[in-house]
Amino acid sequence: MYEIETERLTLKMFDFNRDLDAYSKVMGDKEVGRWLPKGTGYSLEATERLIRYFIEHWNTRGYGTWAIYRKDTDTFLGHCGLNYVADLGETELLYAFGAHARGQGFCTEAAAAAIRCGFSNAGLQSIIALAKPDNAKSIRVMEKLGMTFKDRIVLKGMDLVMYKVLKAAVG
C-alpha cells in the first residue's frame, strides 16, 4: 500500500532524498499555499516538517499521503492522500498539486485512488474532504469523486466546507 499506480500516475510514500526539492517548489508557490492552512507558500523548513508528518502518519495509522508522480515522465506533481483529523474524528482526503499539473485530471485520478485505498486497504467507512468555501476547483474535485456536501465548519480558525463519501456509497 505504500506505492500504488493508476493509469497515468504513481503514488509513492514520501522520501526526503527523492522528494524534498520538487515538493518545496510546489509548496512554496503562493497560489498553492493560498488554499492550504497557512494561507501562503510554505518555507523549506515547513515543507520538511510536512514530509516528516506524512511519514509518521503512515507509521502510526498504516495509511497516509503520497508524493504523486507522472508515470510517463517521472515528474513530481504534488501530494494526495489520507490524513486523520483528530479534532473531527474523521479521515480527510487531502491534495495539493503544482501549477504544471493543474487542469489535467491528475488530482481527481490520484484522489480516487486514495479513496479506494482507504476503503479497501485501511478499512475506513467514510472519508471527508475540506476546502475553503471559495476554492471552486477543489470542491469540483470532491463532487467528481462522489462526495456530497455535509456541513460548513470552522477548524483551527479556518472557515471550511466539508464533503463526505461513505464506503457503502462506492461499493
CATH of the domain at 42: 3.40.630.30
Per-residue pLDDT, averaged over 17-33, amounts to 92
| Residue 30 included in any domain | yes
Dihedral (CA of 53, 59, 61, 62) sign = positive
What is the pTM for the complete model shown?
0.94
| Residue 138 included in any domain | no
Over residues 47-93, the pLDDT tens digits come to 999 999 999 999 999 999 999 999 999 999 999 999 999 999 999 99
- Which pLDDT score, from 0 to 100, does residue 36 have? 80
Per-residue pLDDT, averaged over 8-16, amounts to 96
Q: State the Cα–Cα distance between residues 66 and 2, nearest whole angstrom.
A: 8
Question: Where in the sequence is the domain holding 82, given as residue range(s)?
Answer: 3-124
